[in-house]
């Protein structure tokens, strides 16, 4: 089973700051990397998916990058807002990646944006 590690485990910053969340994985034979957001007691909201052939994806103030050779992905959040406060999870496919395949998640980064 693949390992996914997220650093830092928790982060608290003032509103308006740009910040970077880190995700690392043990096997460079990765098919994609997906970033999610989870609000307390809620389900997961998909933010970005980066396929192995891509280096980055952008959605609004979010930018995710993927470096297979180093086994790392980063999620960049620009101009952070209090509404960005949540737990951010990265996940990779568990097995072959050929269609329906489960996800292995990191433990997440708990982000607090101070007003």
Partner 1 sequence: DTEVTQTPKHLVMGMTNKKSLKCEQHMGHRAMYWYKQKAKKPPELMFVYSYEKLSINESVPSRFSPECPNSSLLNLHLHALQPEDSALYLCASSQDLRVAGQETQYFGPGTRLLVL
Beta-ladder partners of 44: 38
In the complex, the smallest distance separating the C-beta of residue 71 from partner 1, rounded to whole angstroms, is: 16
Give the C-alpha separation, 79 to 108, whole Å: 21
Task: Enumerate binding residues for partner 1 (CB under 8 A).
Answer: 31-32, 34, 36, 41-46, 49, 51-52, 89, 93-108
Contacts of 44 (CB under 8 A, 6+ apart): 36, 37, 38, 89
28 vs 51, which CB is nearer to partner 1? 51
Query: In angstroms, what is the minimal distance from the CB of 111 to partner 1?
Result: 15
């Amino acid at each position: 089973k693949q390992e996914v590690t997220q650093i830092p485990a928790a982060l608290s910053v003032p509103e308006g700051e740009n910040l970077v969340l880190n995700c690392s994985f043990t096997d460079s034979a990765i098919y994609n990397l997906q970033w999610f957001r989870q609000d307390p007691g809620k389900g997961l909201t998909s933010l970005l998916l980066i396929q192995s052939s891509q280096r980055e994806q952008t959605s609004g103030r979010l930018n995710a990058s993927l470096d297979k050779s180093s086994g790392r992905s980063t999620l960049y959040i620009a101009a952070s807002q209090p509404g960005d406060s949540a737990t951010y999870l990265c996940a990779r496919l568990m097995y072959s990646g050929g269609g329906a395949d489960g996800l292995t998640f990191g433990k997440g980064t708990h982000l607090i944006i101070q007003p």
